[in-house]
Amino acid sequence: MTGAVLHPHRPGNAALARDAKLRTRAARASVTVASALVAAKLGAALITGSVSILASLVDSLADLAASALTLFSVRKAQRPPDADHRFGHGKAEALSSLVQATLIAGSAVFVVTEAWRSLSHPEPVVSTGLGLGVMVLSLVLTGALVLYQRHVVRETGSIAISGDLAHYVTDFLSAFAVMAALAVEHWTNTPWIDPVMGALVAIYLAATAWGVARRAVDELMDRELPDSDRSRIEDLVRSVPKVQGLHDLRTRAAGASMFIELHLELDPQMRLGEAHHVADEVIARVRSVYPSSDVLVHQDPADVDEHRLDDVVAHTENQSRAGVPDPAN
């Protein structure tokens, strides 16, 4: 081999176009459902005065704002690379999820405040039949949306749609709590049940916000793909004939795109054209499992002793396990 060659490969348009269509449809469905639920819950909350319905209304308002943001971010993330964003715009989805987490956390604080106020000065809830009817409607619409969004997340791995899904799973589960509060209060005349259930909804909202934020930050910080994916990629690379090894594998995700970089170890006497062919085969096998990946391959002679990222990572991990302080702190 006459020299090392950087060999990038971009994901095919067909897979990305299909994913983009699914993401956009899911985001639009989310906005439609959220709008319908906000209208229904607003009317029910004004009539009944229920804190539990108010909690659900605030959550739906946050969902509507987040869903609108999700739709914007999904469409933004689909824009092709430009002069200022040569890796594309995929991280717009992670930014959207971070904002979603903030909205959910804010909703949790508001609902806790209202629940405490209502618990301190409990008032009977009226028109519980209307409240139950609204929550049944919420249950049906939210359940249908959750099933569709789960399908889209499985197909595309979208972090923005996943964040939206977290909202609606919360809605679906909390609807049962709201219905229980209204039913119990109607049958037992215990007004403290309603604010207590509202507080439980708020706790679940806070936990959801933490999960959404953590995943968004991981993507923004270029966290590696799970070890299972890294091992799968290594196995795929090593399965290609004439590949003697690999090193410095690093991965990251940005919206619909996955970026995979690695160094191939090849026979030092291999001609450049043959090395190019081997790299093509490596890329094809990786993309057969990860079709939305952007793969960058660097071909190295197998016997070259060079500074490697793997060595730096191993040293850092060893220092961490030994309890050596981080020099950056």
Half-sphere exposure of 200 (CA within 13 A, CB side): 16
**What are residue 259's DSSP bridge partners?**
252, 294
Q: Model confidence over 237-284: pLDDT tens digits?
A: 999 999 999 999 999 998 878 899 999 999 999 999 999 999 999 999
DSSP string, 298-315: EEEETT-----HHHHHHH
What average pLDDT is seen over the chain? 83
The CATH architecture of the domain made up of 224-321 is 2-Layer Sandwich (3.30)
Give the C-alpha separation, 245 to 243, whole Å.
6
Tell me the whole-structure pTM to 2 decimals. 0.74
Q: What is the pLDDT of residue 11?
A: 54
Domain ranges of the chain: 13-220, 224-321
Q: How many CB atoms lie within 10 A of CB 86?
A: 7
Cα three-residue angle 72-78-80, rounded to 5 degrees: 130
C-alpha distances out from residue 303 to 2, 177, 245, 260, 279, Å: 14, 64, 11, 23, 18
Give CA separation, 68 vs 15, 32, 98, 153, 266, in Å.
25, 10, 14, 18, 50
- From the list 225, 230, 70, 232, the residue with the least C-alpha distance to 159 is 70
Q: What is the pLDDT of residues 29-64, one digit of tens each?
A: 999 998 998 988 888 888 877 776 777 788 778 778
Helix, strand, coil percent content, the chain, rounded in steps of 5: 65, 10, 20
Could you tell me the pLDDT band of residue 195, with boundaries at 50, 70 and 90? confident
Q: How far apart are CA 114 and CA 197, in angstroms?
A: 12
DSSP state letter for 72: H
CB-count burial class (<10 Å; 0-12, 13-18, 19+) for 221: exposed
Q: Is 131 exposed, middle or buried (0-12, 13-18, 19+ CB in 10 A)?
A: buried
| Best CATH choice for the domain 13-220 from the list 1.20.1510.10, 3.30.450.40, 3.40.50.720, 1.10.3210.10 | 1.20.1510.10
Tokens 């999820």 label which residue? 97
| 100-to-54, 59, 111 alpha-carbon distances in Å | 19, 11, 17
Please report which confidence band the pLDDT of residue 228 belongs to, taking 50, 70 and 90 as the band edges: very high
The token pair at 131 is 């409240």
% the chain with pLDDT above 90: 36
Q: How many CA atoms lie within 13 A of 253 on its CB side?
A: 23
